Amino acid sequence: MAKENLVARAEEIQRLENCLLETNAQLIILYGRRRIGKTYLINEFFDGRFDFKITGVYNEPREVQLQNFADELAGHLRKEVEAPRDWRSAFSMLQNYLEGLPKDEKHVVFFDEMPWLDTQRSGFLPAFEYFWNNYGCSLHHLVFIVCGSAASWMTTNIAENKGGLFNRQTCSIFLRPFTLKEAEQYLASRGIHWSRYDIAECYMILGGIPFYLSLLRRDLSLSANIDNLFFRKRAELWNEFQHLYRTLFTNSEIYIRVAEALSFKRMGLTRAEIAKKTGIPENGDLTKILNNLINSDFVRAYSFFGKKKADTLYQLRDYYSWFYFQYIRDYPGRDESFWSHSYNSGAKHAWAGFTFEQLCKDHIRQIKQKLGIAGVLAEESSWFSRGNRDHSGAQIDLVIDRNDHVINLCEIKYTAEECTIDKDGDRVLRNKIGAFVQETRTKKTIQTTMITTFGLKQNQYSGMINTQVVLDDLFA
């Protein structure tokens, strides 16, 4: 197994190794958004050695998929195989082939991009259910891997199947983007050794998506790389957006409409607000769309401190999508060095400040570790007040409501140097804390936490900050 090429997937590797040690049949489900490295993980872990492998082809009819199945089987049998008439016949052929293999060793079957095999009225899923329940689950030496980018299909039809596959999977792996630390390790493995400030900015554009990170060139600076990937003519990621959503979601235009609506409100929107802005009725269809976006890691659902569930906010969390709406979609394409020329622009500073907040929310585990509360049950949220006669409007980026009777009110700042609290900043911060305590009527102890890139400069106003988290802490 060629695991030496795998970077930062230690947990997933261990789970796959555990499956190989089991003495019963294994049905492994691997899913996650497109470009996350699912196929790469399986290919590298098993060193490309499969007893049978088929990859679904996007938007191709059942006849094409079945012919591909026959061609793959012919390669293993080393003889011509006629295409099966339907998927029931295909799985029958697969069963006959597996019965001819030695019984004293593991045999690995890999169905990659399975959602694309399940074309309209293809009968694929019932045929697979019958195969697994009637035969596969009793074959003790069989390791059957199901993989797909369409998280909604994988969740509904496999992971949370309520029919013939209910509770049948033996291992379910949702492959997430790299963390900052894992992204740093991956870049280093490719000979790219940037400062953590640059890596953070890179992450805020590309996210922890291995495929996007693999496109970076070690001979270019970060800004030059972003220009190369997004702003030069025919850049690799210029037209990625439409393809990304189209291959993940049926009726992708509706999903793009929701993502676009969320891109205009940095704190996020409620269900009612999304329905109003998109024209999508606030019913089960909207619930399904939002759930699919959440399952695909494109949207985050989070609470608004002290509000009811109906006030849950939905926030666009996919870094590439956010960057696309901010800079790519309406960009006229005249400046191939746009990002390099935007280094000190106000628009870029505003984008970086907001996106750094998202970066912190995606690394809440590291923040809690730094604060020494990793083992404390806590709920994360945001808070906003329009103000009243006693105080002006206020917003708190991150609220960590802890079960040990403490609340951390987190102020998040993205700067190129030490952050300084001046007289005005001190007044704003005190107003936030006072407004929060007054309106929420909390009896818990309040701790003020500053999350910055390079720390807080000590002066006469810095004493009100109880705890600090810096960029390096997010790399833990």
Residue that wins the pLDDT comparison between 2 and 86: 86
DSSP 179-228: -HHHHHHHHHHTT----HHHHHHHHHHHTT-HHHHHT--TTS-HHHHHII
Give the pLDDT confidence of 356-373 residue by residue, as tens digits: 999 999 999 999 999 999
Is residue 333 within 8 Å of residue 235, measured between CB atoms? Answer: no
Integer angstrom CA distances of residue 239 from 232, 263, 323: 12, 18, 13
Residue 476 has pLDDT above 90, yes or no: yes
| φ/ψ (deg, to 5) at 381 | -160, 180
Query: pLDDT at position 2, please?
Result: 58
Residue 444 has pLDDT above 60, yes or no: yes
Residue 390 has pLDDT above 80, yes or no: no
Is residue 468 within 8 Å of residue 452, measured between CB atoms? Answer: yes
Is residue 213 within 8 Å of residue 206, measured between CB atoms? Answer: yes
User: Residue ranges per domain, the chain?
Assistant: 3-174, 180-232+336-356, 241-325, 363-474
| CA neighbor of 56 nearest in space, from 102, 25, 90, 81 | 90
Query: pLDDT at position 309, please?
Result: 67
The hierarchical CATH code for the domain 363-474 is 3.40.1350.10
- Residue 388 in tokens: 């009243």
Residue 263 has pLDDT above 80, yes or no: yes
Is residue 410 within 8 Å of residue 398, measured between CB atoms? Answer: yes
- The backbone region for 213, taken as left when phi is positive above 0, alpha when psi lies in -120 to 50, beta otherwise, is alpha
Amino acid at 397: D
Topology of the domain comprising 241-325: Arc Repressor Mutant, subunit A (1.10.10)
**What is the C-alpha to C-alpha distance for residues 176 and 33, in angstroms, rounded to an integer?**
8
Helix, coil or strand: residue 264: coil
Is residue 33 within 8 Å of residue 297, measured between CB atoms? Answer: yes
When mean pLDDT is compared across 5-9, 39-43, 64-68, 420-424, the lowest value belongs to 5-9
Residue 332 has pLDDT above 80, yes or no: no
Query: pLDDT at position 223, please?
Result: 97
Find all residues with CB under 8 Å of 451, minimum gap 6, and list them: 360, 367, 398, 410, 411, 412, 413, 468, 469, 470
Radius of gyration of the chain (CA): 25
Percent share of the chain, pLDDT over 90: 79
> Per-residue confidence at 250, pLDDT binned at 50, 70, 90?
confident
Containing 396, the helix (H) or strand (E) segment is strand 394-402
Is residue 268 within 8 Å of residue 262, measured between CB atoms? Answer: yes
DSSP 314-371: EEE--HHHHHIIIIITT-----TTHHHHTTT-HHHHHHHHHHHHHHHHTTHHHHHHHH
Of the candidate CATH numbers 3.40.50.300, 3.40.1360.10, 3.40.718.10, 3.40.50.150, the domain formed by 3-174 belongs to 3.40.50.300
**What is the C-alpha to C-alpha distance for residues 241 and 243, in angstroms, rounded to an integer?**
5
- Residue 474 in tokens: 């997010």
Query: pLDDT at position 385, please?
Result: 86
> Which range in 58-67, 241-250, 328-337, 343-352 is most confidently predicted, on average pLDDT?
58-67
- Residue 129 in tokens: 């259910």
- Residue 91 in tokens: 């799985």
3-174 and 363-474 agree in CATH topology: no
Is residue 30 within 8 Å of residue 173, measured between CB atoms? Answer: yes
Is residue 271 within 8 Å of residue 312, measured between CB atoms? Answer: yes
Query: pLDDT at position 170, please?
Result: 84
Residue 405 has pLDDT above 70, yes or no: yes
Residue that wins the pLDDT comparison between 155 and 407: 407
When mean pLDDT is compared across 13-27, 144-158, 246-260, the lowest value belongs to 144-158
Residue 274 has pLDDT above 60, yes or no: yes
Which pTM does this prediction carry?
Answer: 0.92
Residue 163 has pLDDT above 80, yes or no: no
Percent share of the chain, pLDDT over 70: 97
Average pLDDT in the chain: 92
Query: pLDDT at position 166, please?
Result: 62
Give the pLDDT confidence of 88-135 residue by residue, as tens digits: 999 999 999 999 999 999 999 999 999 999 998 999 999 999 999 999
**What is the C-alpha to C-alpha distance for residues 471 and 42, in angstroms, rounded to an integer?**
32
